[in-house]
A = this chain, B = another copy of it.
Amino acid sequence: MNRPHRRERTIDKQARSKSSFFSLPSGQLYNPYRPLEILTPEQVQQIHEASMHILEHTGIRFQDAEALSLWEQAGAKVDHVKQHVWIDRGLLMEWVAKAPQSFTVRARNPQRSRLIGGNAINFFPSAGMVFVRDLGRGHRPGQSSDALELVKLIQMTNVIDFAPVQSVVMHDVPVHRKHLVDQAMSYIHSDKPLLGTSHGRIIAGDGIEMAKIVFGEDLQPERGAVIGGNINVNSPLVYDERMVGGMITYARHGQFTTITPFILAGAMSPITILAAVAQQNAEALAGIALLQIVRAGAPAIYGGFVTNVDMKSGAPSFGTPEGAWALLMGAQLARHYRLPYRGSGSLNTANVPDTQAMGESLWALWPCVLAHTNLVIHAAGWLESGLTISYEKYITDVENLAMMQHFLQGVRWDGDVFALNEIHEVGPAGHHLGTLHTQERFETAFYPSFLADRRNLGTWQAMGAEDSIQRAHKLWQIILDSYEQPPMEVTMHEALSDFVERRACELEHVNLYG
């Protein structure tokens, strides 16, 4: 673990003062607009019926003895040898109905706590990447130094609501230390709420223990969750032991789990988008019901992540029209069941942060916003189908998030918004730049882009002709130079570090997923 320090580099105050990046607002964002609904109520019902048929007739596999027992006790039909469960719709919906419609995720800085549900929308950075890339250092396997830089970048990004969990795999940290170092790093270098790693009982349990160091021995789940995990179902229709272990552990402590079937239509489900969405619905509801069986009222998020394979290469496709449909349909289903919803921003299949990367990413973000997604995971930084987190891509994505934040704050209707006197006085063919009405509002009237360069071609060329990625490359360095560590009591910091060291020793020869 790095020890606390004040600043790693000299802050370039001048560069910082020039960038509107640092003055982006922070706070709970809501989506005031009506969601885009592409299904009729009858179509929602048809998808529901198909999902119920799947769970009743085909059933679903839970590769975990405790989960099978829980299902059996709840009244489902269970085959322990085949690890197979058939769930009656009445039973299923009775448990699903116990999940809260919304809940709070508490941060160690209470101002950064966030609401999940209703019209709230929250941005979570890209997570779980294997590689990292930037314009200066190139493409490389992630190291702990990269992960630390990313925690800092994200901490400084007001529009990102959550601290990262495993933004990139730390290849220089032994397996039994990774989850410990990762969560401690986020706690120490960020004061935002976070997700833990949810792979199995040991790792999720350690996450709970570290949360207790930060939030107190009694996590007070009635005040909201302080940690949670994201589960990707092994579609089709399999919950493996790691996932189940993690989700049961979090639920038992009243913490939240996002249940996200990851479905490539045509591979992990039938090829039709409606079949993929019906299967997703069956898988997600089964997981959410299990969370409730573990602890009624355990916070749960319905995750939508259906996309399609590329017909030319057979590879996954992201940021597609099919993905947009699936995301919007998933959101309607989640609303139908009164559950919070998770989507993904910044998804793309490009190998470099080019216009394909940007285009696909906005084909992921706009549908998330239109769907009324409550938690947008991978909101910034995703590249190379999720194998890589790119520093420059992160910056270009954050510009879109900041624009969306501004867009969702809505048109201001306060004060002299129509300026009829100015229109009259300036009259036809006049100019409004010099009026008092304009001058008074000039600094704050519009979204202040931190990345766009709107100078004319000649000026832009004379100033070095930097494209958007080159500008992003400079900006993330300025942000890192400006990083300020949020305060943490020395005792808490030491307790986290001590836990990491002690637990890493204990786990050195343990099968983490055993």
Binding site for B on A (CB under 8 A): 32-34, 36-38, 43, 46-47, 50, 53-54, 57-61, 84, 139, 234, 236-238, 265-275, 278-279, 308-313, 315-317, 320-322, 324-325, 329, 349-360, 362-363, 366, 370, 384-385, 387, 396, 399-400, 403-404, 406-407, 410-413, 416-420, 422-424, 426-433, 435, 437-438, 441-443, 445-449, 451-457, 460-461, 465, 467-469
Question: Would you list 24 pairs from A and B whose C-beta atoms are within 8 A, ordered by A residue?
Answer: A34-B34, A234-B429, A237-B427, A267-B432, A269-B432, A270-B435, A271-B442, A272-B417, A272-B441, A275-B417, A308-B445, A310-B449, A320-B446, A320-B447, A321-B403, A321-B404, A325-B407, A351-B460, A352-B467, A354-B467, A355-B469, A356-B453, A358-B359, A363-B403
Contact A329 B453 (CB under 8 A): no
With both chains docked as a complex, state the minimum distance between the C-beta of A258 and any C-beta of chain B, in angstroms: 21
Contact A36 B38 (CB under 8 A): no
Q: A36-B36, A349-B453, A351-B453 are in contact. List 7 more A-B contacts (CB 8 A).
A: A47-B418, A58-B420, A60-B428, A310-B452, A315-B455, A325-B410, A358-B358
Contact A426 B311 (CB under 8 A): no
Closest B residue by C-beta to A278: B418
Query: CA of A447 to CA of B384 in the docked complex: distance in angstroms?
Result: 20
Closest B residue by C-beta to A51: B418
List residues of chain B with CB within 8 A of the CB of A460. 351
Query: CA of A309 to CA of B445 in the docked complex: distance in angstroms?
Result: 10
With both chains docked as a complex, state the minimum distance between the C-beta of A432 and any C-beta of chain B, in angstroms: 5
B237, B308, B428, B453: which contacts A236 (Cβ < 8 A)? B428
Query: CA of A140 to CA of B331 in the docked complex: distance in angstroms?
Result: 48
List residues of chain B with CB within 8 A of the CB of A267. 431-433
List residues of chain B with CB within 8 A of the CB of A279. 423
Contact A430 B308 (CB under 8 A): no
Query: CA of A400 to CA of B428 in the docked complex: distance in angstroms?
Result: 38
With both chains docked as a complex, state the minimum distance between the C-beta of A462 and any C-beta of chain B, in angstroms: 12
Contact A58 B423 (CB under 8 A): yes
Closest B residue by C-beta to A456: B315
Contact B355 A457 (CB under 8 A): no
Closest B residue by C-beta to A361: B359
Query: CA of A311 to CA of B452 in the docked complex: distance in angstroms?
Result: 12
Given contact pairs A61-B428, A315-B455, A431-B267, A272 touches B412 in the complex (Cβ within 8 A): yes
List residues of chain B with CB within 8 A of the CB of A311. 442-443, 445-446, 448
Contact A34 B33 (CB under 8 A): no
Query: CA of A233 to CA of B313 in the docked complex: distance in angstroms?
Result: 49
Contact A38 B312 (CB under 8 A): no
Residue among A61, A313, A433, A446 with the highest chain B CB neighbour number at 10 A: A446
Given contact pairs A43-B413, A308-B445, A432-B271, A354 touches B351 in the complex (Cβ within 8 A): no
